[in-house]
Amino acid sequence: MDNQDLRKAGLKVTLPRLKILEILERAPARHVSAEDVYRTLLESGEDVGLATVYRVLTQFETAGLVKRQNFEGGHSVFELDQGEHHDHLVCVKCGRIDEFVDKTIEERQAKIAANAGFEMTDHSLNIYGICPTCQKKK
């Protein structure tokens, strides 16, 4: 089935692309960095270059298969794009990432952009904090 997605995006079905797609699908955290993907590939004995990981992830993003999130410190994570937009709650201690959607916020954002005369292309809302687990550990 994934082969179809790749072909539709005009991408050849190659081993690296399939493997990376698989890793994204199985990632327990859903949000993984390019480095994470690369490490996982090496662990499974695949001989894929980090450059390819970046190239493939970028192509996937262009194809709409994947979403890229830029967090603080010039560090990005990728997640499978499952259609529904959402924002992120990021734990600054353990890196855990929760997702949420808030219709009210979405609406206000659209209104703010419109008021300012901006044609909104995208938006990112990240709430940083300490997750329940890390609070207990303290």
Partner DNA sequence: ATGTATGCAAAACATTTGCACCTGG
Partner DNA sequence: CCAGGTGCAAATGTTTTGCATACAT
Write the DSSP string, 9-23: TT----HHHHHHHHH
89 contact, one of a second copy, DNA, none, CB 5-8 Å limit per kind: a second copy
14 contact, one of DNA, a second copy, none, CB 5-8 Å limit per kind: DNA
Span 62-91, contacts to a second copy by CB under 8 A: 70-75, 89, 91
34 Rama sector, left if φ>0, alpha if ψ -120 to 50, beta otherwise: alpha
94 contact, one of a second copy, DNA, none, CB 5-8 Å limit per kind: none
Three-class SS state of 112: helix
Bridge partners of residue 79, in order along the sequence? 67
Bridge partners of residue 100, in order along the sequence? 87
Least separation in angstroms between CB 75 and a second copy:
8
Cα 12 to Cα 8, 75, 94, 127: the distances in Å are 9, 28, 37, 38
Residue 94 binds a second copy (CB under 8 A): no
Residue 50 binds a second copy (CB under 8 A): no
Question: Segment near a second copy (CB under 8 A), from 1-9, 26-34, 56-64, 117-125?
Answer: 117-125
